[in-house]
Structure 1
């Protein structure tokens, strides 16, 4: 199958025209002369003549000679030779027959690899025949194929069906070297041209060939991280030109061939940004079916290596029913592709969009890749966590257990730990203070901005997962504990997440509630959040007391600020602040009147809060009494009352006197009489 947009090159042999005309396979190839040899190629029979075949193929001559020596056939009976797993199949063998009979045929980029491998298999070399087929294929490769990048990719793609023989004739290595070299030199050519011209815009009258040369070297990703040796590519080029034409061609290769091409490009000096763009394009094409976009990408990948996948399976897998195991084989191939893509990711940071890394991580979890692959992706995501949103982190868990949480919370916790560890190393490396507002290079401000963004995203994430009834309090609290409190200006978002969690988990114990709520800083709650929390019955009593205390302190501070003098030229007389030089006192008196009303209102609020605290303390006392009654009812009354008496004794300042009096009464009482009991 030809690649899109390519013109198939035709190579005609300069041979004489022949009266021989091919007919259907399985019958006599030339009707004028009786055939004297039959060749069975992968189940297809060809009735031919020994002389034209033996003249071009050393292998066929040797096989015919062996048959004659063994006496398996006479000159009157035709010889029969069988070929299994013939390179290129019966179609390629028929083209070689045409060559042997002197019939012209078309050599294209689609069949040249098969012809080269089949000719090697039949030993059709120049020493055995002048201008043999191997010479013609090598001429076609050097003069037509290797001069074009896309034609070389097409030939490499066709080598997938005859890979072992193509490796033997060094065709695969030659194609890979040509691809890597051409991509590198085209990048260098564009960089040198832009540096020489000094022009950062592309004229609209450029022809398609010039644009194609520009496309081969431009970064296929939106951001360009410049190195010292690289020449900047203008942003206008990025906007106007499609930048990944060669990456799209490489995406048709099988994963093992693409891996070798990628390694060769990296060794040749192709920019990391271009490598990243090519890898993204290949992942998009080969894993397209995993994202619900159809099976077109899967068909390209699975058509050729399907039987190879069966051989790669272990004996245990081969014992499984073939029809039932088809899905398992396909998942094995997908897993192999994904693990290879992850292993090829460049080590440079911030090359890939965060959405691409998250997509790979979701696929890695779905396909159950190795732990090393998943941890590598988590580390890369953690390096740029400030770019994610809360929805990006909602990665569902595998449906292995109905009691599991809806989303993979452990994964997000590991990513957050990676980010915080990276920031800790960054802070120690640059040795800056978190309290500084700015520094010379703006490093501290950028650091604080990034970690505040991450904190906001994690708080939003907690609010999203809080409604999951299967989410455990320990996991919820574990993520919230990782958030640095000094970077949270307000805790309203965290309070909202905790409130949603408590509402979705009404059967939490008091210990679990306190563990979740202790993460809140009541002093960072807004007035509206405090008002809501003071009336929230889902919060534990200790938390309500803290909220009311913080609100009471806030009101008291507001009263002190309102009663303190604010103007420089005023003095206090009789509890009122008056202006020294003002002759008109009405505006000042209006201000004092408003302050009195505000103070009165604040005092009423304080009284309400104190009443609420008293009610909560009363409820707490009733709860403790209820627990005591439960203990008494369970048969532990003696132990309970003794413990209560001991506690009351410690609280009573006159406990020592009561103890002495009790001892004296015990000494005064006569000892109890021991009576005999009889059973009548």
Structure 2
């Protein structure tokens, strides 16, 4: 009991708040009751109270260093340990130590900022955190090799701790550093990136406070070097275990991601390549991103899609798929809308067409890729974006091979994305022999190919001799027309033969499909034991019909 009374009397000699609380409690309590004082939300908890007690029992002296300064400063503010209570009190000594920020090294300032994190609210309310952040960026703007005045940390503050005074030079710098506004530091930020790794040790709320102090949080971020730092910090944060983020760290990281995207959108393609933008997307997506910022970033990426490579497009899926196909479709949509005003397909459009064909071939083996999604990607570009559809056919063949259980209807629907007239002769031959392609589609492809050959043939025959004069050309064409009219046959016989051949081929395909259905029905009946194999064979020989010949 005597020790408790001694503790109260010793600490009350330095703390104005404790004096007031003790007086109020004594008025309320009776003589038999024990005096009990509760200090809620004490900065640093038991550790902070122990440091203050050591200061009080050591006759107002305690070694100050960058690691314990924030805790002692906030505790002194909380307990009202001012000069009005006692001369050379703890708050005055802490302020004198802070006034020597000019003599601190970069590591010392960073240590002090990190020490504020357990009681960031108290450090922010006292103004200490903002002063330390200002000193931190003063060191950054000065560069890594800037001398610190030849004094060790605490040299002037040791004098102030003992005599509670500071030199005129130190006091003058204290006034200039404390009154230095963040706006005056903004143009200086960006002389290098040597400090990026050191700052990754700070918590997300501290980084948010740093950005707010500099006036570069959210849409106000217009600094490229701070944008690069945020991306570096977010990348490091994604590599840390989730359990290390405390107190709404995920929400804070999402806010930092939005801030970084605002900075990226401001500079656009002048500072980031298309691959760099995909790198940014992967980082900010891992920590969370608002819809507005995602739209900004994707629009910037879509406008530069012709500079992307296949590796850039292979972004991991977020909804269970192997790849994020929806992202690529949105980027293609942005790019196509930007090229709508062009009279003819540009080289950029053709380049994107070849890129999407490669992308289709890469995602085709994905078992989770639906038919509708494959079609959506293949048809996301206009027909003019592709000079040849061989790449689409190869991707389609890979998809059919990887999904053997597709129905005839689905396979027919998939072939809708092909333009048969833009298939090469080799691809068309392979399509006709491909068993995974429905027969009706093969017939259409062959018909389109034959029609294209006929058109090419007539175009070659209709070319005039360059040596002929225009008058001779006109006369020759007139003679040709007269011969065609008088003959009455010309190319009509050839067209009629072609039409009959196509009709015959189509009828054979239909007959083949009908026969296959009949065989399936007979085999299902045989499996049920309706009739024996011998009777079925005799019936087939007696009145059954064999499979039609295709040639």
TM-score range, shorter chain: 0.5 to 0.7
Q: Give the TM-score taking structure 2 as reference length.
A: 0.66
Q: Does 1:418 align with 2:418?
A: no
Answer yes or no: is the 8 Å Cα contact 1:473–1:516 preserved in 2.
yes
- Tell me by how many angstroms 1:535 deviates: 1.6
Superposed counterparts of 1:195-594, under 5 Å: 208-209=145-146, 243-267=192-216, 272-289=223-240, 295=241, 298=242, 301-302=244-245, 305=246, 308=247, 333-334=249-250, 336-345=252-261, 346=263, 347-348=265-266, 349-350=268-269, 351-352=271-272, 353-360=276-283, 362-363=285-286, 375=295, 377-397=297-317, 406-421=322-337, 423-424=338-339, 428=341, 433-434=343-344, 448-552=346-450, 557=456
Q: 8 Å contact 1:259–1:340 — kept in the other structure?
A: yes
- SS for the counterpart of 1:118 is helix
- 2-structure distance, mates of 1:172, 1:612: 87
How far residue 392 of structure 1 moved from its aligned partner, in angstroms, is 4.0
Are 1:517 and 1:543, in contact at CA under 8 Å, matched by a contact in 2? yes
Pair 1:157 & 2:114 matched: yes
Q: Which residue of 1 aligns with 2:536?
A: none
Note closer, same or farther for the CA distance 1:276–1:558 as it changes in structure 2 (3 Å cut).
farther
Aligned counterparts of 1:172 and 1:380: Cα–Cα separation in 2: 37
Q: Check the 8 A contact 1:180/1:265 in 2, yes or no.
A: no
In 2 relative to 1, CA 153–379 (structure 1 residues): closer, same or farther, beyond 3 Å? farther
Partner of 1:136: 93
Alpha-carbon offset, residue 131 of structure 1: 1.8
Q: What are structure 2's unaligned runs of at least 5 residues?
A: 148-186, 469-497, 523-551
- Contact kept, 8 Å, 2:16 with 2:81, in 1: the verdict is yes
Instruction: Give the deviation of 1:139 after TM superposition.
Output: 1.8
* Pairwise CA distance, 1:160: 1.7
Give yes or no for contact 1:92–1:118 (8 Å, CA) kept in 2.
yes
Q: Does 1:38 pair with 2:4?
A: yes
Q: How far does residue 245 in structure 1 lie from its aligned partner after superposition?
A: 2.4
Tell me if structure 2 keeps the 8 A contact 1:57–1:123: yes
- Indicate conservation of the 8 Å contact 2:204/2:253, yes or no: yes
Query: Contact 2:70–2:123 at 8 Å: present in 1 too?
Result: yes
3-state SS of paired residue (1:165)? helix
Listed one character per residue, the Cα deviations across residues 644-663 of structure 1 (whole Å, up to 9, x for unaligned) are xxxxxxxxxxxxxxxxxxxx
Q: In the superposition, relative to structure 1, how do residues 558 and 262 fare at CA in structure 2: closer, same or farther (>3 Å)?
A: farther
- Give, in angstroms, the shift of residue 611 of structure 1: 12
Q: What's the CA shift for 1:125?
A: 0.3
Per-residue deviation at 1:161?
Answer: 1.2
CA distance in 1, matches of 2:236, 2:278: 16
Q: Do the aligned partners of 2:314 and 2:323 also contact (CA within 8 Å) in 1?
A: yes
CA shift for structure 1 position 398: 5.2
- 8 Å Cα contact 1:38/1:80 also seen in 2: no
Structure 1 residues 59 and 483, CA, compared in 2 at 3 Å: closer, same or farther? same
The whole-number CA distance in structure 2 between the counterparts of 1:379 and 1:552 is: 43
Alpha-carbon distance change, 488 to 288 in structure 1, aligned in 2, over 3 angstroms = same
The count of corresponding residues between Structure 1 and Structure 2 is 441
The 1:419/1:568 distance shift into structure 2, 3 A limit, reads closer
Task: Tell me how far 1:288 sits from its aligned partner.
Answer: 1.1
| Stretches of structure 1 lacking an aligned partner (at least 5 in a row) | 1-34, 40-47, 191-206, 211-229, 238-242, 290-294, 310-332, 436-447, 570-608, 634-680
Q: Is the 8 A contact 1:37 1:79 kept in 2?
A: no
Is the contact made by 2:364 and 2:402 (CA closer than 8 Å) also made in structure 1?
yes
Structure 2 residue aligned with 1:318: none
2:511 equivalent in structure 1:
622
Query: Structure 1 residues 361, 209: closer, same or farther in 2, change over 3 A?
Result: closer
Q: Secondary structure at the match of 1:209?
A: coil
Q: Partner of 1:63 in structure 2?
A: 21
* 1:94 correspondence with 2:4: no
1:57-96 CA deviation, whole Å, 9 max, x = no partner? 112323343455456669xx99664545421233333332
The 1:149–1:484 alpha-carbon spacing in structure 2 relative to 1, beyond 3 Å, is farther
**Residues 175 and 418 (structure 1 numbering): CA distance in 2 closer, same or farther, change over 3 Å?**
farther
CA contact 1:339–1:373 (8 Å) conserved in 2: no
Equivalent-residue separation in structure 2 for 1:621 and 1:61 (angstroms):
103
TM-score by length of 1: 0.55
Q: 1:507 to 1:613 in 2, by over 3 A?
A: farther
Assess if the C-alpha contact under 8 Å between 2:124 and 2:130 holds in 1.
yes
Q: Report the CA distance shift for 1:562/1:209 in structure 2 as closer, same or farther (over 3 A).
A: farther
SS at match of 1:172: helix
Distance 1:361 1:527, change over 3 A: farther
Give the Å deviation of 1:115: 0.8
Paired with 1:535 and 1:362, the residues of 2 have a C-alpha distance of 45
1:587-666, aligned counterparts within 5 Å?
A: 616-623=505-512
Give the superposition deviation at 1:280.
0.8
- Residue equivalent to 1:168: 125
Give the distance between the partners of 2:336 and 2:107, measured in 1 at CA.
45
